[in-house]
Amino acid sequence: MPELPDITIYIEALEKRILGHTLERVQLNSPFLLRTATPPISAIESKKVIELRRLGKRICFGVENDLWLVLHLMIAGRLHWKHSVGAGLVPARLNRAATRAAPTRFPKNQLALFHFDNGLLSLTEAGTQRRASLHIVEGQSNLTDLARVGVEPLEIDLNDFAATLRSENHTLKRALTDPRLFSGIGNAYSDEILWQAQLSPVKLTQKMVDEEVERLYKATRDSLLEWIERLREETGDAFPEKVTAFRKDMAVHGRYKEPCPRCGQKVQRIRYASNETNYCPTCQTGGKLLADRALSRLLREDWPKSIDDLP
């Protein structure tokens, strides 16, 4: 799922292309995408884009008359930009009558087309599950109510960070990825933050000492800022097309059994549902292997308790 650094780069790329331009028409190719009925989607058509902002992991397009188009890409949603329209896509400047008469067959993964006066923005979603969402809302208050997100990790000081972190007694992994506590952090960057802070993902927030909280605060800022800059350099003036949760330069996320770049120990993981937590047992858990819910129950006494027990 695109997280704070990825969404930041998306917004920067969109600002260069559509800010001040007119959204002529929205073409929905999936009945599951639009999650609101009022205002109608036609209300934002022929309106100029005057602002772009991030709301948690959502991308918000502010247009004239205080209307907002809000996209949540979820896990597999991605955006694509075309200055010149490719084969099979409807040109943005065709009049409405011609557009209605145009062929309506689209790639199965293409959920929507946003026709601007200078190009075309498309939304695709890999796989068969349709989780990406689009909302149309009116006014700042309704925009805020749509997603009551937590604090912005790059905009708060240490005291506010500590208060938010300790407001509920969760594991660090859960706390960092809880959108009601911290805005924009998900599975991938939480792994990187905890590795950089050298803290266990299952440590409870209310049992942390001040030094650990300060270390986590610094690691959160440093990791997010570092990845924003990396992605910014990687993208350059192009539109971001390589948005992924798995990057070869990450320290632990998605690097199960690969060497930790700090100590060389093999990265381990905890798997749960469709997610996993990646960590270094030497750097983060004092050599202890964290119990995987499925495997540890299956293996029971054969489950290795420390890195010394690994084959």
Work out the average pLDDT over 188-209. Answer: 97
Start-end of H helices in 56-136: 96-101
CB 216, CB 172: distance < 8 Å: yes
Residues 6+ apart with CB under 8 A from 95: none
Q: Residue range 231-255: average pLDDT?
A: 94
Q: How far is CA 203 from the centre of its chain?
A: 24
The percentage of the chain sitting over the pLDDT mark of 70, rounded to a whole number, equals: 86
By three-state DSSP, how is residue 180 classified? coil
Does residue 66 register a pLDDT over 80?
yes
- How does DSSP classify residue 270? E
Query: Predicted confidence band at 293 (pLDDT cuts at 50, 70, 90)?
Result: low
Peptide bond into 39 cis (omega under 30): yes
pLDDT band at residue 286 under the 50/70/90 scheme: very high
**CA distance readout (Å), 236 to 9, 16, 17, 156, 248:** 10, 12, 14, 28, 19
pLDDT in tens, 115-130: 999 999 999 999 878 8
The phi and psi torsions of 200 (rounded to 5 degrees) equal: -70, 140
CA atoms within 13 A on the CB side of 217: 20
Strands (DSSP E) contained in 223-310 are 268-272, 275-279
The helix or strand, by DSSP H or E, that contains position 121, with its residue range, turns out to be: strand 119-125
d(CA 66, CA 165) in angstroms, rounded, equals 34
Quick one: tokens of 33? 């995408």
Read off the pTM: 0.87
Q: Of the given ranges (93-102, 188-197, 264-273), which has the lowest mean pLDDT?
A: 93-102
Q: According to CATH, what is the number of the domain 4-146?
A: 3.20.190.10
258 with 267: CB under 8 angstroms? Answer: yes
> What are the sequence ranges of the domains in the chain?
4-146, 158-309
CA distance 93 to 21: 13
Of residues 84 and 189, more confidence is placed in: 189
Alpha helices, H only, the chain: 4-18, 96-101, 140-146, 158-165, 172-177, 187-197, 210-235, 281-284, 293-299
Question: Which CATH number applies to 158-309?
Answer: 1.10.8.50
Give the mean pLDDT of 88-111. Answer: 54
Mean pLDDT of the chain: 88
Average pLDDT for residues 221-231, to the nearest whole number? 97
pLDDT at 39: 96
What long-range pairs does 255-261 form, CB within 8 A, spacing at least 24? 260/195
